[in-house]
Amino acid sequence: MAAGNRSEAAQGLTLVAPPFAYALLVLGAPLLTLLAYSFFKDGYLTIIYEFTLENYLAVWSDPIFHKIMLRSLGVAALVTVVTVALAFPVAYFLSFVVSSERKPLWLFLITIPFWTSYLIRVFLWKVILGYNGVVNSGLKSLGIIEQPLTFILYNVNSMVMTLAHAYAPFAILPIFIALEKIDRSLLEAGRDLGENRMMTFWRVTLPLAMPGVIAASLIVFIPTIGDYVTPALIGGGKIPMIANMIQAQMLDIDNRPLGSAIAVTAMIIVAALSLLFLFVNRRFLKVRQ
């Protein structure tokens, strides 16, 4: 009934209106401000409100931007691969091995890291990996090393390790949900039709888990590109990523138009890459279970 539907739709709209307005305010308004700033001129400590494309031209021709953007993408891609690769077995174990009455407990345990602030978790990795940190003093007291290891902190490896840990639950949960949705008789059918466990996993489980893997990849990839804390603390400021560059332009150099242009450019690049990723994997997303 059309009339009934319309009133239901109206009811729905009324319900979502307040949170929608709020989201618009706190998400849309800053974005629009950023977009507007990126087209203004910088007047050294002031902003000249005149339209210009200079900022974007400066960004695109800046070799430092190229380097830092590529590094950000590289680190984020590495973090994504490591996180998803480590999260998959955990999600698989949760879905296929843990009994259904134990699953809530396991999910709860996986979310425990969120009880601690992100900043503190990252900082703790610095404590663990530092010059006089847990790893080094442990190895030293065991007599395995004499001088503290320096390659475990302030480099890309340590950043990947930290970010992979921080984002693990974001990767585990979507993969777990995708695995949970798989009808178990499909796996039996795979066995029944002559495939062993490995091949059944490859031909049935993995393709059906792909929506979860894709979601996990995006959920990890997009925020890690813009991560600010980890490069600052774990990277020791020596290997800045795009967020650190934006921060420097915005606050240290006080060139907000250029900082905004970097932010908008980075956003466009990430959006384009994400869409490309979705397009490449589109056949997995069309599956209706």
Partner 1 sequence: MTSPTSSASARRPDRSAARALIECRDVQKYYADYHALRGIDLTIREGEFFSLLGPSGCGKTTLLRTIAGFEDISSGVVLIDGQDMAGVPANRRPTNMVFQSYAIFPHLTVAENVGFGLRRDPRPAAEKAAAVEEALGMVGLKGYGNRASHALSGGQRQRVALARALILKPKVLLLDEPMSALDRKMREQMQVELIKLQRQVGITFVLVTHDQEEALVMSDRIAVMFEGQIAQLDGPEALYARPASRRVANFIGVMNFLPARILDETENGVMVDAPGLGVVEIPSRNISSADPGDEGPSIGFRPEAVSLLGPNVAAQNRVTGGVIDEVVYYGDMTYYDVRLDGSASFDGKSRPVRIAMRNVFGREVQDVGTRTRVSWSPGSLILFR
Interaction between residue 116 and partner 1 (CB under 8 A): no
Would you count residue 212 as binding partner 1 (CB under 8 A)? no
Q: Are 91 and 176 within 8 A, CB to CB?
A: yes
How many residues sit close enough to partner 1 to count as binding (CB under 8 A)? Answer: 23
Residue in 31, 35, 37 with CA at minimum distance from that of residue 50: 37
Of 49-57, 75-83, 255-263, 280-288, the window that binds partner 1 (rule: CB under 8 A) is 280-288
What are residue 81's phi and psi, to 5 degrees?
A: -60, -50
Closer to partner 1 by CB, 85 or 287: give it: 287
Single out the residue of 250, 263, 257, 247 nearest to residue 38, CA to CA.
Answer: 257
Interior/surface letters 254-263, b for 16+ CB within 10 angstroms, e for the rest: ebbbbbbbbb
Three-state DSSP state, 42: strand
Residues 6+ apart with CB under 8 A from 206: none
Residue 190 found at the interface with partner 1 (CB under 8 A)? yes
| String of contacts with partner 1 for each residue 147-186, x by CB under 8 A | ------------------------------------x-xx
- Which of 151/279 has CB closer to partner 1? 279
Choose, by CB under 8 A, the member of 204, 241, 263, 270 that binds partner 1.
204
198 binds partner 1 (CB under 8 A): no
User: How are beta strands 41-42 and 47-48 bridged, if at all?
Assistant: antiparallel
By the rule CB under 8 A, 189 interacts with partner 1: yes
What are the tokens at 192? 């029944």
Under rule CB under 8 A, residue 203 binds partner 1: yes
Instruction: Compare residues 24 and 199 and give the one whose CB is closer to partner 1.
Output: 199
Residues that bind partner 1 (CB under 8 A): 183, 185-186, 188-196, 199, 203-204, 207-208, 283-284, 286-289
